[in-house]
Amino acid sequence: MKKFERIAGAGALVTIVAAWAIGGSRQPMDLHPFLPIALPGASEFKSVGDGIYTGRDSDDNVVGYATVGQARGYGGPIRLVVGLNASGKLAGASIIDHKETPAFFDKIKTGAYLKTLVGKNCTDHFTPGDDSDEVSSATVSLDALARSVRRAARRLASDALKLPVPSPPAEPVRFGLPEIVLALLFAISFLTYAKPLDGRPKTRNTIRWITRLAGLALIGFVFTIPLSIININSLLAGYPPPWRSGIYWYFLIVGAFLPVILTGRSVYCECICPFGAAQDVLKVAGPARYNLPRRYSMTPRWVQRLLALSAILAALLVRNPGHFNYEVFGTFFTLTGAVFQFALLGVVLIASLFLLRPWCNFLCPIRAVSDYVRMIRLWCMETFRKPRARS
């Protein structure tokens, strides 16, 4: 089995590299279908260089100018075409592409946010809090949408209309309660799980329950930013966030996988994961406790790994980290998701009354990635281990 796992692991690495290369060779999307939305009334568009287009009406009068604005959302960059009329007012905006989870981003696309921007001055801030009542679960995406519009509008005002625009403010370092809580949870969990307290199993178990419940309450329900396959796909696709705004993101990635590399144990999955804690609570409250025999549990494990690999390959091929996202914790904590995710969530919650973490053990892509990292770790240890001296 170990030999088969290594062959399968090597094959997975080859397919991931191939998907990354194929996805990177895709041609950029044609902008022309989006230009009429950004500049209503224009019938002809012509590039004037440096990514700026001029729009003219049927009488050859200049209607305005358009260009692309981009900012990073939760999963990756959000790109829009933004148009300004000759007086420096926003004429329109159209989303070209994005890397967000569709269920969350639909809350923005179906809202009236972009329509509320029409007529605003190019020097406005387009602050989401002033212009939209969208739900908090899409705050990161909505903020990126606003920054994309702001960057494009000010670029057009400066380069095309030659208007004075304020200098862009330096992006603030985002470090607050979510980052502090996450760092503390990782530190406490590592000391008690990755490096167990010798001779104190009750103390260790108590601390683990405290970190689990804290993760459930804070990371799950308050911050609603747990670790997701989208984080991993963003890294593989080349969309890591800037460090100033992505400290929490980097804490998640490093805190989840560094202990696996160092000790072979997944601190995040066992001690912090909010959806894992939710399953633990249901199991304690359940009427019975069953564990699947190993001969029956290996098939679901391989299904879990194939699903995780499919999610990664799909994300790399289309360069969209959330393209094939079947995770259900977002559905559980924010009641947002596709129909199949709600159905799958119901099955998982019922199964949690009888089985130990059914989602974590048989479906979660993070567990599959952790298993892969663990396998690579063991492989490297066995390969580079010094041979024992013969007696």
CA distance 235 to 321: 9
Whether residue 19 lies inside any domain: the answer is no
Q: Give the rounded percent of residues in the chain with a pLDDT score beyond 90.
A: 55
Scanning 170-241, the segments in alpha helix (DSSP H) are 177-189, 201-214, 229-237
- pLDDT value at residue 289: 66
Q: Does the pLDDT value for residue 318 go beyond 70? A: yes
Residues 149 and 245 in one domain: no
Question: pTM for this one?
Answer: 0.85
118 lies in some domain:
yes
Residue 371 in contact with residue 8, Cβ under 8 Å? no
Q: CA–CA separation, 206 vs 243, rounded Å?
A: 34
Does residue 359 share a domain with residue 263?
yes
State pLDDT tens for residues 24-68: 888 777 888 999 999 998 999 999 888 999 999 988 999 999 999
Can you name the residues that pair with 62 across neighbouring β-strands? 56
For residues 303 and 99, what is the distance between their CA atoms, to the nearest angstrom? 26
In whole angstroms, what is the distance from residue 352 CA to residue 382 CA? 36
Please state, in angstroms and as integers, the Cα–Cα distance from residue 149 to each residue in 70, 243, 369, following that order.
8, 22, 36
Residue 247 confidence (pLDDT): 94
CA distance 345 to 368: 19
Q: What's the confidence (pLDDT) of residue 136?
A: 44
Domain end call among 133, 159, 185: 159
Number of domains making up the chain: 2
pLDDT greater than 70 at residue 176: yes
137 and 186 together in one domain: no
147/129 Cα distance (integer angstroms): 13
Query: Based on the number of CB atoms within 10 Å of its own CB, is 241 exposed (0-12), middle (13-18) or buried (19 or more)?
Result: buried
> Is the confidence at residue 107, as pLDDT, over 50?
yes
State phi, psi for 167 to the nearest 5 degrees.
-65, 140
Mean pLDDT of 229-255: 93
Of 159, 185, 207, which marks where a domain is finished? 159
Same domain, 55 and 199: no
| Residue 312, in any domain of the structure | yes
Mean pLDDT confidence for 108-117? 72
Residue 356 counted as domain residue: yes
* pLDDT interval class at 20 (50, 70, 90): very high
Would you say residue 353 has pLDDT above 70? yes
Q: Does 192 lie in the same domain as 325?
A: yes
Q: What is the pLDDT of residue 372?
A: 95
State yes or no: pLDDT of 111 exceeds 60.
Answer: no
pLDDT at residue number 218: 96
**Both 217 and 335 in a single domain?**
yes
Share of the chain above pLDDT 70, in %: 90
pLDDT at 195: 67
At 296 the pLDDT is 67
Is 24 a domain residue?
Answer: no
Residues 256 and 365 in one domain: yes
User: 211 and 70: one domain?
Assistant: no
122-174 pLDDT, tens digit per residue, is: 888 887 654 444 444 467 788 888 889 999 999 999 999 888 888 777 778 98
Task: Let me know whether 148 and 187 are in one domain.
Answer: no
> In this structure, are 194 and 155 located in the same domain?
no
Q: Is the same domain home to 275 and 227?
A: yes
The CATH number that applies at residue 118 is 3.90.1010
Contact between residue 310 and residue 376 where contact means Cβ atoms under 8 Å apart: no
Residue 79 lies in a domain: yes
Q: Is the pLDDT of residue 350 over 90?
A: yes
- Residue 63 domain boundaries: 34-159
Q: Choose one of 111, 126, 159: the last residue of a domain.
A: 159
What is the strand order of the sheet 90-97 is part of?
A: 44-47, 53-56, 62-72, 77-85, 90-97
Instruction: Measure the CA–CA gap between 13 and 30, rounded to whole angstroms.
Output: 32
On whether residue 8 sits in a domain, the answer given is: no
Query: Does residue 243 sit in helix, strand or coil?
Result: coil
Residue, of 245 and 22, whose pLDDT is higher:
22
Residue 99 lies in a domain: yes
Residues 132 and 180 in one domain: no
By three-state DSSP, how is residue 159 classified?
helix
